[in-house]
Amino acid sequence: MPQTQAYEAPRTLADAVRLLSTDGHARPLAGGTDLLVQSRATQKLPSTFVDLKRIPELVGIEVGPDGLRLGAATSAAVICEHAEARRLWPGLVEAIGLLGSTQIQGRASVGGNLCNGSPAADTTCSLIVNRARGVIAGAKGERTVEVERFTTGPGRTVLEPGDLLVALVVPRPAARTADAYLRLIPRSEMDIAAAGAAASVTLDERGVCTAARVAIGAVAPTALLVPAAADALIGSRLDDAALRRAADAASAAARPIDDKRGTAVYRKTVVGVLTRRAAGIAAERARARP
Amino acid sequence: MSTATKTFEHVGTRPIRHDGLDKVTGRANYGADYALPGMLHGYVVRSPHAHARIVSIDTSAAEAMAGVKAVVTGSDIPKTNAKLVMGEAALDLGAMGDNALAHDKALYEGHAVAAVAATSPEIASAAAEAIRVVYEPLQPVMNVDQALAPDALILHDGMVTKGRPKPDAPTRTNVALRMELTRGDLDKGFAGADVVIERTFTTPMVHQGYIEPHACVARWGEDGQVVVWTSTQGHFVVRDCCAGILGIDAARIKVIPSEIGGGFGGKIPVYLEPVAIALARKAHRPVKLVMSREDVFRASGPTSGTKIRVKLGAKKDGSFVAASASLYYEAGAYAGSPAGAGAMCAIAAYDIPNFLVEAYDIVVNRPKVAAYRAPGAPAAAFAVESVVDEVARRLGKDPIELRLQNAVREGDQAAYGPEFGPIGLREVLEAARCHPHWKAPLVPQPGRKVGRGVACGFWFNAGLNSSATVSLSADGSANVVTGNPDIGGTRVAQALMVSEELGIPVERVRPIVADTDSIGYNDVTGGSRVCYATGMAVIEAARDAQAQLRARAAKIWDVPVEQVGWERGRAIALNGASGREPLTVSELAAKLMHTGGPIIGSATVNAPMAGPAFGAHICDLEVDEDTGVSRVVRYTVVQDVGKAVHPSYVEGQMQGGASQGIGWALNEEYVYDAEGHLQNPGFLDYRMPVASDLPMIDTVIIEVANPLHPYGVRGVGEVPIVPPLAAVANAMHDATRVRFTALPLSPPRVLAALKQRG
Ligand SMILES: Cc1cc2nc3c(=O)[nH]c(=O)nc-3n(C[C@H](O)[C@H](O)[C@H](O)COP(=O)(O)OP(=O)(O)OC[C@H]3O[C@@H](n4cnc5c(N)ncnc54)[C@H](O)[C@@H]3O)c2cc1C
**DSSP letters spanning chain A:** -PPP-EEE--SSHHHHHHHHHH-TTEEEESS-TTHHHHHHHHT---SEEEE-TT-GGGS-EEEETTEEEEETT-BHHHHHT-HHHHHH-HHHHHHHHHSS-HHHHTT-BHHHHHHTT-TT-TTHHHHHHTT-EEEEEETTEEEEEEHHHHEEETTEESPPTT-EEEEEEEEPPPTTEEEEEEEE-SSSSSS--SEEEEEEEEE-TTS-EEEEEEEEESSSSS-EE-HHHHHHHTTS---HHHHHHHHHHHHHH-----BTTB-HHHHHHHHHHHHHHHHHHHHHHHHT--
Closest CA to A179 of A63, A64, A75, A94: A94
CA dist B339 and B398 (Å) reads: 31
CA-CA distance, B274 to B251, in Å (whole number)? 16
Q: Do A187 and B628 touch (CB under 8 A)?
A: no
Residue of B nearest to A271 (CA): B627
The residues near B693 (Cβ < 8 Å, ≥ 6 apart) are A187, A188, B631, B632
Q: What is the pTM of this model?
A: 0.96
Domains of chain B are: 20-26+462-607 (3.30.365.10), 34-138+211-262+267-299 (3.90.1170.50), 306-461+609-757 (3.30.365.10)
As a whole number, the mean pLDDT across chain B is: 96
* B6 has a pLDDT exceeding 90: no
Distances (CA, A) of A172 to A62, A144, B455: 12, 17, 55
Question: Omega into B582 within 30° of 0, i.e. cis?
Answer: no
Given a contact cutoff of 8 angstroms between Cβ atoms, the answer to whether B243 and B253 are in contact is yes
Whether B470 contacts B512, CB under 8 Å = no
B671:A190 CB<8 A: no
**Do B731 and B449 form a contact (C-beta atoms < 8 A)?**
no
Q: Where are chain A's structural domains?
A: 6-51, 61-171, 177-287
Enter the ipTM: 0.94
Say what the pLDDT of residue B5 is. 59
Whether the per-residue pLDDT at B333 is higher than 50: the answer is: yes
pLDDT at A1: 36
Output the tens digit of pLDDT for each of chain A's 290 residues: 345 579 999 999 999 999 999 998 999 999 999 999 998 888 788 999 999 999 999 999 999 999 999 999 999 999 999 999 999 999 999 999 999 999 999 999 999 999 999 999 999 999 999 999 999 999 889 999 999 999 999 999 999 999 999 999 999 999 999 999 999 999 998 899 999 999 999 999 999 999 999 999 999 999 999 999 999 999 999 999 999 999 999 999 999 999 888 899 999 999 999 999 999 999 999 999 97
State the pLDDT at residue A4.
Answer: 56
- Residue whose CA is at the smallest distance from ligand 1 atom 17: A33
On whether any CB of chain B is under 8 Å from the CB of A191, the answer is yes
Report the share of chain B in percent with pLDDT over 70.
99
Helix axes of B490-502 and B535-557: crossing angle, nearest 10 degrees: 30
Q: Ligand 1: which atom is nearest the Cα of residue A34?
A: 29
Q: Which of B656, B527, B641 lies closest to B262, judged by CA? A: B656
* Beta-strand relationship, B583-584 and B570-573: antiparallel
- Cα separation, B582 vs A21, in Å, equals 86
A211: Cβ contacts below 8 Å, ≥ 6 apart: A174, A177, A201, A202, A230, A234
**Range B703-729 average pLDDT:** 97
Looking at residue B566, what is its pLDDT? 95
On chain A, the residues whose CB falls within 8 A of the CB of B748 are: 262-263, 265-266
pLDDT greater than 70 at residue B477 = yes
Q: Which residue of B has its CA nearest to A266?
A: B748
Most A CBs within 10 Å, among B65, B294, B629, to test the A interface? B629
Nearest CA to ligand 1 atom 7: A99
- What are B367-396's pLDDT values in tens digits? 999 999 999 999 999 999 999 999 999 999
Contact call for A269 and B751, based on CB within 8 A: yes
Q: Is domain A177-287 classified as CATH 3.30.390.50?
A: yes
Q: Which residues of A touch B123 (CB under 8 A)?
A: 1
Ligand 1 mutation pick, A99, A124, A192, max ligand atoms within 8 A of CB: A99
Point out the ligand 1 atom lying closest to the alpha carbon of residue A35.
29
CATH 3.30.465.10 fits domain A61-171: yes
Please give the order of strands across the beta sheet that includes B478-482: B509-513, B478-482, B464-472, B600-607
Spatial neighbors of A42 by CB under 8 A, at least 6 apart, are none
Write down the pLDDT at residue B2: 42
Residue of A nearest to B754 (CA): A266
Of B390, B487, B349, B332, nearest to B730 (Cα)?
A: B390
Judging contacts by C-beta atoms under 8 Å, the chain A residues touching residue B666 are 186
Q: Do B690 and A189 touch (CB under 8 A)?
A: yes
B251: pLDDT strictly greater than 80? yes
Cβ contacts (< 8 Å) between A2 and chain B: which residues? Answer: 122
Give the Cα separation of B565 and B550 in Å (integer): 7
CA distance B116 to chain A (A): 15
CA neighbours closer than 13 Å in the CB half-sphere of residue B389: 29
Give the relative orientation of helices B235-246 and B93-100 as an angle to the nearest 10 degrees. 80
pLDDT the model gives residue B89: 76
Between B274 and A191, name the one with better pLDDT: B274
- CB A108 less than 6 A from any atom of ligand 1: yes
Identify which of B679, B680, B746 has the shortest CB distance to residue A186: B746
**CATH number for region A6-51:** 3.30.43.10
Q: Is A34 in the pocket of ligand 1 (CB under 6 A)?
A: yes
Q: Flag whether pLDDT at B578 surpasses 80.
A: no
Q: Which letter, b or e, does each residue of A106-138 get, where b requires 16 or more Cβ atoms within 10 Å of its Cβ? A: ebbbbbbbbbbbbbbbbbbbbbbbbbbbbbbbb
Q: Which of B386, B432, B424, B430 is nearest to B405 (CA)?
A: B430
Q: What is the largest CA-CA distance in chain A?
A: 66
Beta bridge pairs of residue B631: B622
The residue contributing the CA closest to ligand 1 atom 4 is A100
Which of B751, B754, B756 is most worth mutating to test chain A (most A CB atoms within 10 A of its CB)?
B751
Mutation target to probe the B interface, by most B beta carbons within 10 A, among A4, A39, A187, A251 is A187
pLDDT at B113 over 50: yes
Grouping H, G, I as helix, E, B as strand and the rest as coil, residue B468 is strand
A99 Cβ closer than 6 Å to some ligand 1 atom: yes
Please judge whether A270 and B751 are an interchain contact, meaning their C-beta atoms are less than 8 angstroms apart.
Answer: yes
CA atoms within 13 A on the CB side of B413: 8
Do B722 and B615 meet the contact criterion of CB atoms below 8 Å apart? yes
The finding on whether A90 has its CB within 6 A of some atom of ligand 1 is no
